[in-house]
Structure 1
Amino acid sequence: MTDSNKMFSLAGKVALVTGSSRGLGRALALGLANAGAKVVCSSSKANGCDETIKLIEQAGGEAIQVAADLNDSDSVKALAEAALAWQGQVDILLNNGGTIARFPAVDFPEDEWLKVINVNLNSAFLLSRLIGKSMIERGQGKIINIASMLSYSGGITVPAYTASKHGIAGVTKALANEWAINNIQVNAIAPGYFRTDNTQALQDNPERNRDIEKRIPAGQWGEPDQLVGAAVFLASSASDYVNGHVLAVDGGWLAR
């Protein structure tokens, strides 16, 4: 008989979570820690993950933080090296760090386009390549990319973000195709509308908030903690035969 508690346990595992200073990233880092993982927390600012580290340690977990600018490839490489050096391995890579820029396509600044693509897509691929190499050598690993509802649709005035999140879905499948034979599972989570400071402007707009809630079959926004179960599943042995999948956690948004 399979021990379900053991199946979802991350005890003895080391996870790297980018963009874990707040919002969904903080909830995900804490969730992996609560499942037993030791966590490397990363954000763009020095000491940006102080609160996340504090919450993990208060819950009895173990974590460190490494500042990294995901727009800079050298900084991303240094992050991978620091994460691997801490415990000698990274078992779970959760590429959550991201940014967005809003401009009409005809006026979209080239520097903003490049920044969004670098932060959201290029850094995820580079970290996956660098840490994936060590996973291949060890014959095991879990990579979880954070996709988006805009991995499925086009959005308005966010062409770079949409391109990056379509790219995340594609890279997830491409890496799964190559690395499944090495016992590495590469999947993605596509969050729907969650209550974070990034979505506060939408929540505060009565018309947009009403339209969003009307579209969601669950009838309400998601809370960050509601993303944790999907992440723990994809990070644990429970998902050992799940590969190249984009898991929507959206309260039914796509079904409507």
Structure 2
Amino acid sequence: MNLDSLFSLRGLTAVVTGGSSGIGRAIALAMAAAGASVVIVARDATRIERVVAEISAVGGRAAGVVGDLSTRDGIREAGDAAAEPFGEPDILVNSAGINLRPPFDEIDMDVWDATMSVNLEAPFLLSRRFAPAMLERGFGRLIHISSQQAHRAFVTSGVYGVSKGGLESLTRSQAEAWSARGVTANTLVPGFVLTPLNARLQEDTEKVRQLAERTMVGRNGLPEDFGGIAVFLAGRSSGYITGQSLFVDGGLSVH
């Protein structure tokens, strides 16, 4: 057995939602570097084209789908379109998310519905769309991106925290249902990561500094911190890991 057999993703296809920026982009680049054919699903065509070009420039295979995950019809259309470039995927990474944070007393149904659709319903429906082919092949990997706020309330968790708590429960249910047939489900739990999703909070430099000091490594997260662990979970050597929430947070959650 060699490293290639343990960690290569050659011959596999991955769909990465939110793959045009932040953690999703880093995972898409890493999976392409490991040999996977990668389909990026996101809202912004320009950003998608930029990442596809990055992957293609170094000899990787990539395609993009402009998708709206805020409605059930949009999720269905995005899922069908994502299966067209390279066929039914072996790997699904649900990284797309929205982070609306009005004060809790001001949360209305529009905020609730939008957050739940993108952060929870899209992972559920896309998994349901792609799992049958994975189960038929006897191999599949579902990787969801959660949040510390699935476990603890801080920095105005609001509906965002609720949606991520649901996502981790979804992961365990999927693992229970499908792991015995070769389809595993796991969640990555970031700490505070310097991404566009957190741009507003990053304006508070003192808060950013405090969050860094709460980690054990002394810094906040970067998108590239997630590439390697995602490649591992996506590959053939991770088949005995399922239903887990893996904290990629520099030790923040240990305090």
| Preserved contact between residue 189 and residue 249 of structure 2 (Cα < 8 Å) | yes
CA 1:5–1:79: 2 relative to 1, 3 Å: same
Check conservation: 2:144, 2:188, Cα contact below 8 A.
Answer: yes
Provide the rounded CA distance (Å) in 2 between the counterparts of 1:200 and 1:144. Answer: 24
Alignment partners' CA distance in 1, 2:80 and 2:251: 39
Greater alpha carbon shift after TM alignment, 112-121 vs 150-159: 150-159
Count of aligned pairs between the two proteins: 255
Structure 1 distance, partners of 2:58, 2:150, is: 34
Spell out the pairing of 1:71-150 with structure 2 (5 A cutoff): 71-150=70-149
* 1:168 counterpart residue number: 167
TM-score, normalised via structure 2 length = 0.96
Give the conservation status (yes or no) of the 8 Å contact 2:98–2:197: no
Distance 1:68 1:37 in 2: 21
Normalised to the residue count of structure 1, the TM-score between the two structures is 0.96
1:195 is aligned to: 194
The answer to whether 1:44 aligns with 2:43 is: yes
CA distance in 2, matches of 1:212, 1:119: 26
Runs of 4+ in 1 over 6 A off after TM superposition: none
> What secondary structure is seen at the aligned counterpart in 2 of 1:186?
strand
Q: Percentage identity across aligned positions?
A: 36
Tell me the CA shift for residue 138 of structure 1: 1.6
Q: Distance in 2 between matches of 1:17 and 1:155?
A: 28
Task: Describe the superposition over 1:44-101 as per-residue Cα deviations: whole angstroms up to 9, x where unpaired.
Answer: 2334401111111112101110111111111211222122232222000000000011
| Contact 1:172/1:186, CA 8 A, preserved across alignment | yes
- Which residue number corresponds to residue 29 of structure 2? 30
Partners of 1:84 and 1:201 in 2: how far apart? 34
SS in 2 for 1:85: coil
Alpha-carbon shift at residue 152 of structure 1 (Å) = 0.9
Q: Which deviates the most, 13-22 or 72-81?
A: 72-81
Give the direction of change, closer, same or farther, for the CA distance of 1:159–1:200 in structure 2 (3 Å limit).
Answer: closer
Q: How many Å apart are 1:156 and its aligned residue? A: 4.4
SS in 2 for 1:97: coil
Q: 1:200 to 1:82 in 2, by over 3 A?
A: closer
Within 1, Cα distance between the matches of 2:45 and 2:51? 13
Q: How far, CA to CA, are the matches of 1:45 and 1:52 in structure 2?
A: 11
- The Cα of 1:154 is off from its aligned counterpart by 2.2
| Deviation string, structure 1 residues 171-229 (Cα, Å, up to 9, x no partner) | 00000000011110111101112222232343342320221111011101122111111
User: 8 Å contact 1:193–1:221 — kept in the other structure?
Assistant: yes
Gap regions ≥5 residues in structure 2 = none
Matched residue, 1:209: 208
Amino acid at match of 2:152: S
RMSD, aligned α-carbons: 1.3
The answer for unaligned runs of 5 or more in structure 1 is none
Instruction: Determine the structure 1 residue equivalent to 2:152.
Output: 153
| Deviation larger for 101-110 or 191-200 | 191-200
Instruction: State the Cα distance separating 1:32 from its structure 2 match.
Output: 0.5
The amino acid of 2:142's aligned partner reads I
Aligned equivalent of 2:253: 254
Letter in 1 for 2:227: V
